[in-house]
Chain A
Amino acid sequence: MSDSSHHIVSYRTYGLILVLLLCLTGISVAVTQIELTRWTMAVALLLASTKSFIVLAIFMHLKFDEKIFRVMVAFVFLVFAAVIIVTFLDYAFR
């Protein structure tokens, strides 16, 4: 179909993204080894979210694909966030 306009991502870009992801993994391992008590969970999840954003954008080509894919993925994550919020509102006010 739209193959002629298909964006070819360079090997170099993928390599640099891998290095970035490995660095973020290293940071999350290091951060969780020191006892930051209640901040540990937040920092670890923030780093995991950053990593997943990078994987979605570059490895899964969302950055280069048609806009509809980005809209759909954003919608699914919003639905998931809403379910988390509703669940914890329930647990917080029991």
Chain B
Amino acid sequence: MSETAVHHDEHRDDLGSKLGMWLFIFTELLLFGGLFIVYAVYRHANQEAFHLAAKQLDVTVGTINTVILLISSMTIAMSTTAIQKKDKKLTLILIGITLILALVFLVNKYFEWSGKISHGLYPGSPVLEELGQGDILFFGLYFFMTGLHAVHIIVGMVFLGVGFMRVKNDRLSFDNYQLLENGGLYWHLVDLIWIFLFPLFYLIT
């Protein structure tokens, strides 16, 4: 091995990168998992109040948001197929659709929250103080868990936005797309959490 034979390999470990993303996803799963246990215990202790409070949530809005997230999960999954097939244009379109759907989800959430707040249902509100402990717990968990989930949507949008720009600038392509795949994994995590939030808050009354 002579000195001149030194060549500059790109230092990259895609498998290690994916492993790191999964380890991070596990911490997220346990974070929300802990909140689900808090929900389960308080529901167990305040069954009647949780039953009545859950009826206040709009199933239609919840269902629309579920459909939006499921479709966006598919489009971002398809984008990793498109990039592997060297179809840059389709990759950008699919990431773009995902970002638009994410924005629509947030707009729905904004109107949903505004509706609740205008009815005096928000943490620490006089209306809730009158309704009692069970309702305070239900709406406290509702705002905290859907709020934390919405924060994850925003982080996911930034993550996928970076992926979009890199595909656009050709810094991310068919032989180097781990960032996009990791962004996709994060987006599916956001979907996964909503899959449980939706029945627990909207469907089960």
Residues on A lying within 8 angstroms of B by beta carbon are: 1-3, 6, 8-11, 14-15, 17-18, 21-22, 25, 28-29, 32-33, 40-41, 44-45, 47-48, 51-52, 55-56, 58-61, 65-66, 68-69, 72-73, 76, 79-80, 83-84, 87-88, 91
State which of B78-86, B123-131, B132-140, B164-172 sits at the interface with chain A: B78-86
- Per DSSP, chain A at the interface is helix
- Chain B interface: which size bin? 35 or more
Contact A32 B203 (CB under 8 A): yes
B1-42 contacts to A, CB under 8 A, are: 12-15, 18-19, 22, 26, 29-30, 33, 37, 40-41
B33 proximity list for chain A (CB < 8 A): 80, 83
Given contacts A1-B14, A72-B22, contact A8 B70 (CB under 8 A): no
Contact A25 B196 (CB under 8 A): no
CB–CB A44/B204 < 8 A? yes
Residues of chain B within 8 A (CB-CB) of A55 are: 73, 188, 191-192, 195
**Closest 9 pairs (CB-CB, A-B):** A32-B203, A44-B199, A18-B74, A59-B77, A1-B14, A80-B33, A76-B26, A59-B188, A8-B84
Whole-angstrom distance between the Cβ of A50 and the nearest chain B Cβ: 10
A40 touches B204 (CB 8 A): yes
Give which listed residue, A11, A32, A52, contacts B195 with CB less than 8 A.
A52
B70–A60 contact, CB under 8 A? no
